[in-house]
């Protein structure tokens, strides 16, 4: 309980963040850039297992630069996860590209490889594929990457929610040609706000840093040949990130324990719900524990969420699929099944997954949920 409330996922700070910030103050490396930024990039690249990283002002900025690096031009088609946060797909529009939304499968709730294969039949010239690892659960990354590359498209991984998760022993955020992380306030670690672009391609990361600092050419005066952006991370923010990185594995372990307690607790209470699934050869970071209400049960997620809200407990609906968003009403949507994303949206919800929630508080949350089924 923080400020009288049980949170979905709030920032968890430690001592080390302050030490890095103090160092930045003491050396006057408050802005711009500075040694914390370089170190944060190095530490993150090493952790994820990618050669190069660029620290940015947001995960959305990382995705935007990934889309630019993939060479998306006006009218280009980009095949995107449908069941995700809008920030996964909006950057395609920043460059004038057109999203085609790909339905989910039921094993991980992420992009369905069969639907992706089908999409390439309709859109053989699609330039890129953007896959999100929803709620920290790795997608079927090998299959998706293989299909993408077989069609000559660029694979982009949105690992904003899945830092610390792995698939077949490899960290998420390392499967794409370009990969994005986020340090937004409620993610598994946070810098108060920020993002990271990761790639094995050194030239690409250098280009991203160039675009992110207003595309300033190396002249004594301000010389510009290209459109620029102000997307870099500050040295203060990177200091918070360095402190948080020292606790990432601990955050993942705490999140996993929360997921396990929900799974066991719902079983013990005999509730008609199941947890968000994952593949046996993957290890999620369990960023948000989610559940799905059985098809035969008439109880709706919004009823439970409102019941919890009245008791100062924060849950959240599942991301509303992108093909259902008014803004994207003109976009195509490809599915091979019974519209999996819409079904998960209708029957699923995100549970309080804050790592400062006590065991007793979590038991109380489950009791309150059980009351909705009584
Ligand atoms: C949080 C998030 C982003 C965006 O990250 P910001 O740092 O908030 O810009 C992108 N994609 C997904 C799936 C996210 O959850």
pLDDT along the chain (374 residues), means of 10: 92 94 87 87 98 98 98 98 98 98 98 98 98 98 98 98 98 98 97 98 98 95 96 95 98 98 98 98 98 97 98 98 98 95 98 97 98 96
Tell me if 14 sits within 8 A of 243, measured CB to CB: yes
Radius of gyration of the chain (CA): 21
- CATH number, domain 248-371: 3.90.1150.10
Please report the pLDDT score of residue 30 as a whole number. 77
pTM of the entire structure? 0.97
Show the DSSP H helices in 216-358 as ranges.
235-245, 248-268, 301-310, 340-347
Tens of pLDDT along 283-302? 999 999 999 999 999 999 99
Pocket of ligand 1 (CB under 6 A): 58-60, 84-85, 87-88, 132, 158, 160-161, 182, 184, 195
Specify whether domain 15-245 bears CATH 1.10.1740.10: no
Taking the centre of ligand 1 as the mean of its atom positions, its distance from the CA of residue 60, in whole angstroms, is 6
Please report the pLDDT score of residue 110 as a whole number. 98
CATH 3.90.1150.10, the chain: domain bounds: 248-371
Tens of pLDDT along 75-132? 999 999 999 999 999 999 999 999 999 999 999 999 999 999 999 999 999 999 999 9
CATH 3.40.640.10, the chain: domain bounds: 15-245
Taking the centre of ligand 1 as the mean of its atom positions, its distance from the CA of residue 123, in whole angstroms, is 27
Of the candidates 140, 187, 207, 255, the residue annotated as catalytic is 187
Q: Is the dihedral of CA 118, 119, 124, 128 positive or negative?
A: negative
Please report the pLDDT score of residue 29 as a whole number. 82
Token digits of residue 155? 């694979």
């Amino acid at each position: 309980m923080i400020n009288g409330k049980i949170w979905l996922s709030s920032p968890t700070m430690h001592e080390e963040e302050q030490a890095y910030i103090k160092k930045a103050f003491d050396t006057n490396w408050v802005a711009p850039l500075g040694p914390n930024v370089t170190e944060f990039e190095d530490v993150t690249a090493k952790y994820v297992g990618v050669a190069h990283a660029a620290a940015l002002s947001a995960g959305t900025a990382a995705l935007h630069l990934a889309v630019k690096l993939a060479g998306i031009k006006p009218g280009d088609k980009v095949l995107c996860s449908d069941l995700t946060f809008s920030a996964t797909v909006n950057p395609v529009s920043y460059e004038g590209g057109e999203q085609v939304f790909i339905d989910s499968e039921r094993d991980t709730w992420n992009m369905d490889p069969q639907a992706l294969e089908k999409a390439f039949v309709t859109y053989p010239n699609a330039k890129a594929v953007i896959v999100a690892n929803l709620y920290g659960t790795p997608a079927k990354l090998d299959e998706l990457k293989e299909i993408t590359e077989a069609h000559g498209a660029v694979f982009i991984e949105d690992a904003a929610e899945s830092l610390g998760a792995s698939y077949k022993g490899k960290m998420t955020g390392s499967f794409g040609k370009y990969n994005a992380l986020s340090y937004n306030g409620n993610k598994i670690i946070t810098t108060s706000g920020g993002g990271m672009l990761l790639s094995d391609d050194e030239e690409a990361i250098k280009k991203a840093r160039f675009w992110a600092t207003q595309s300033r050419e190396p002249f004594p005066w301000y010389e510009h040949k290209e459109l620029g952006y102000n997307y870099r991370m500050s040295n203060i923010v990177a200091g918070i990130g360095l402190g948080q990185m020292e606790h990432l594995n601990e955050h993942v372990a705490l999140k996993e324990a929360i997921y396990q307690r929900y799974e066991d607790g719902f079983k013990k209470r005999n509730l008609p719900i199941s947890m968000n699934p994952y593949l046996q050869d993957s290890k999620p970071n369990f960023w948000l524990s989610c559940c799905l209400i059985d098809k035969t049960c008439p109880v709706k997620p919004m009823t439970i969420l409102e019941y919890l809200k009245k008791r100062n407990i924060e849950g959240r609906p599942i991301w509303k699929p992108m093909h259902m968003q008014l803004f994207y009403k003109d976009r195509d949507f490809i599915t091979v099944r019974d519209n999996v994303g819409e079904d998960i949206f209708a029957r699923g919800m995100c549970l309080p997954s804050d790592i400062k929630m006590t065991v007793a508080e979590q038991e109380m949350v489950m009791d309150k949920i059980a009351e909705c089924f009584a």
